[in-house]
Structure 1
Amino acid sequence: MKVIYLHQYFATRNSTTATRTYEIAKKLVQKGHQVTMITTDAFLESEIPFKTTHYYREYLIDGIVVKAQRNHYENKMGFYRRTWAFLKYMHFAYIQGRKSDGDLLLATSTPLTIAIPTLMLHVSKSLDYIFEVRDLWPEAPKQMGIIKNPILLKGLSYLERTVYRHAKHIISLSPGMTEGILAQGIKRQKVTMIPNFSDLSLFQPQHIQTELQAELIKQLKLQDKFVLLHLGAMGEANGLMYLIEAAKILQKKGQQQIVIIIGGDGKVRASLQQACQSAGLTNVLLTGYIKRKNVPTMTSIANITMTSFKNLPVLATNSPNKFFDALAAGKPIIVNANGWTKEIVEKNQIGYYVRPTHPEDLALLLVTLQNKKQALRALAPKIRAIAQQNYSAEHLTDQVETILVQQWRNIHEN
C-alpha cells in the first residue's frame, strides 16, 4: 500500500515537539508500506535533506520519504502569520499530493485547514482518505476567542462537516473528540478513538542521560528540591498563568523547597517571564525548548508532573502528549481539566485533580506531597504498566495500520 500522509508539523525525536506522526509513519514502513510525508520543515532543523530547492527539502527518515516545504512556524506567531503559514502549506500539500503516487491518503489536523488540500486531492485524484482529528476545530478557537468572525466560524464549521462526511474513516484522539465528531452527524462505526501514545521505547532507563541529568540538577539548583514539571507547548490553551499564581502562593508561604519547572516555548512564554519578574519569584524555572530525545532525562528530575489547560469545556477533550509521556516515564500526574484525563488519574490512583480556577489547590497539594517523595516514586511500576496496557505506541500504531489496510481493502473490493 502506498500512503500519502499530510501533516503540517511532522517531527522526529531530534525535534522539539510531539512525534505521533513519525511513529505512525515508521510503523507503516516497518509493515512494508510506502509512505510519502508532505509537511513543512518547521520542526526538521536537525535533519539532513538529500535534496534542497528554493521552496522545499526532501529527506529520507527511517524509510519515510519526506517532502518538506520551507515554512517557518512557531506557537508564538500571531494570527495573521499563522494564517499565512497555513495557506502556504495548503498550496504545497495539494501540489505535492498531485505529484505523489498513492493508494490512500492519511491527513491529520491541526490546523483544520489541512481539510482543504485533503478534499481537493480526494476530488482531483479520486483518492480516498482517513482523517485524524487532534483538536475540535473550530470549536476550540471559538471558545478561546481566537476566531470571533461569525462568517469565518460558519465557514470552518461547514469545512469540518464536509471533511468528516467524505472520509472513509475518522480517527479521534479522545472520547470527547469522538462525541464532538458524532455531533456533526457522523455514524459511530465510522470513528475510532486512538489516543496519543506513551512512547515506552523512548522512556527507557538507557535513554536517561546521567551526565545531562546531573548538569540540569546542578544548573537549576534542584538538589533536595521537590520538583513539579510542566513540559510542552506554552500556548494560551495551556493556561500556564495558573502555575505562576500557585508559585506566588508557595513563595508567600515560604515553601522554598518546592520548584515549578515550565519547559518548552510558545506564545505566552514572555508574559510568564514578565509575571515571574514582577512578582520576584525564585521558585519558577522556564527552560525553553527541550529536544524530544532529551525529554526522558528532563522528566526524570521531576517528582511529579502537571498537565494544565485553560478552563474551557473543549480543552477537557484534549489528548495531551505531556500526559502520555508522564505515563511512559512512570511519573504521577496532576491535571486541572475536568475531563477524561481526570478520570484516568483518579480511577487508577496515579495522580491528582486540582480546580483550574483555584491555584491555591495546586499550592496546597504540593505542600502536602513534598514529604511523600518515596510514595510518589513507588507508583512508577504501576503507572508504566497502565501505559503499557492501554497507551503503548507499539500497540496503537498497529491499530492505525489496521484501519488503513482495512479501508484500502474495502476500496479495492468495491
Structure 2
Amino acid sequence: MSSPNFKEIAERVRFARAYAAEQLPWFAPALFRSNIVITPQVEVASIDLHYNVYWNPVTVDQIWRDRDRRLALSELGFLWIHEISHRLRRHGERATALGISSGPRARRWNIACDFEINDSEWSGLKMPAAYPGMLPEGFGLPRGQLAETYLLQLEAGDYPDLSFAIDEGSGIHGLPRPWEAGDRQRLSTIEEEIIRREVARRSWEASQDLVPDAWRDWAADVLGSRVNWRQRLGHRLSVALQRGIGSRTDYSYARPSRRQSVYQPIMPPSLAGDQTARIAIVVDTSASMQATELQRALSEVAAVVRQFNHPVTIIPCDLVAYEPVREVSEREAFRISYLPGGSGTDMRAGIDAAVRLRPRPDSILVLTDGMTVYPQANYPVPVIFGILRQEGQETQLPPDPPFGPDRVVMI
C-alpha cells in the first residue's frame, strides 16, 4: 500500500473540522484557531499547549477509506472535539499544578483526562470504532468526575500497567514532545483565554438540550456571574465617549449634508470635527493581580477595542504608572504578553497619567482587583472602574460619591 499523501490528509482533516463546527458551532472559535500538523510521530492525534493539533496520516487515511464519507467525517470530527476539549479544560496547566513530570504518571493523567471529557455524547459525531476512547466505566469508575479525582483512583486502585495509553501531547500533560518542535504556532495566554471564554459564551447561549450538563457547568465556571456586565460596561463607556466626541464636533456649512436633497432648496449643515473615540485603559499590574486576573483584564482590553472599533491606550500601573502602550488595535491587543509591574497598588497614579495624555481621552477605564487606594474626587474625564472579582476575597469598592453605581462594574 502506498504512503498517504500528506496534502490530501490535511484536506480531509480540514473537511472534518468544518463538519465538527457545523454540528457543534459553539466549538468553532477553538476549532478554527487550531493549526493542523500532519506527522507519523503521533499514534492517532495529539495537541500541544498552543492549539497545534497533530494527526497521524495512516490513522486519518484508514478512517477515511474504511467508512462512508459522512461516517468518516463524524469520526474525525469526534477526534477534533476530543483534542480541543483537552485545551479548553486546561489539562496541561492542571497537570503542571499537580507536579506531573514522569512518563508513567503522565500516561495515567492522560487517561484521567480522557475520562473527564469522553462522558459527553455529541449529536452528529461518533467515537472512531478503530480507536475507541477511554471511558471511566471500563475501569469500574463513575462518570462525571474531574481528572484529578480519576487520577487518584487510578493510582490507588489495583489496575494493570497503563502504559498502553496513547500520548496526546503537552496540551494534556504539559510535557514537551519531539513532534512539537519546529515552526509551530504560539498563542499568547490572552489569545487562549479569549478562545475559552468565547467557546464558553456560545456553549452557555446554545440550547440546553444540545450542550451536555458537564459542559454547561464548565461554561458557567469560565464565565462566572450570569450578569451581562460587559453590556453594562459597554453602555457606560458609550455614554462617556459620546459626550467627549460631542464636545469636539459641531455643525458646519463647509460640507453639504448628505440629506441635502430632502431639504431642497434649504441647505442644512453637516456634522464636522474629530469623531474618533479616545479611550485610555489603566490596567492593574500590581503583585495582588494573579496571572489569571491579569489575563482577564487584558482580554477585556481586546473586547473594548472590538466593541468600539477604535484603538485604545493602555497604561500599566502598580504604585506608579508605566510608559503607555499607545494606539493598541484589536489584533495587537490579542498579542500583548507582558506589562510591567509587580509592586503595591495605587490606581490613582495610572488615572493621573491617563488624564495627562495628549490628546486627552474621552473616557478612562480602570481594570483592577479592587485592592487599591481609590481617589476621593472626580476627574475632568469620566472614570469607570471594572473590578475583577476574586473567589473567596472580599472586594473593596470605590467610594460613593464620587464614584456611584453608574461608574463601577463588577467583572
Q: Same fold (TM over 0.5)?
A: no
Query: Which structure: larger Rg?
Result: 2
Name the one with the larger strand percent: 1
- Give the TM-score taking structure 2 as reference length: 0.26
Which of 1 and 2 has higher RCO (CA within 8 Å, sep 6+)?
Answer: 1
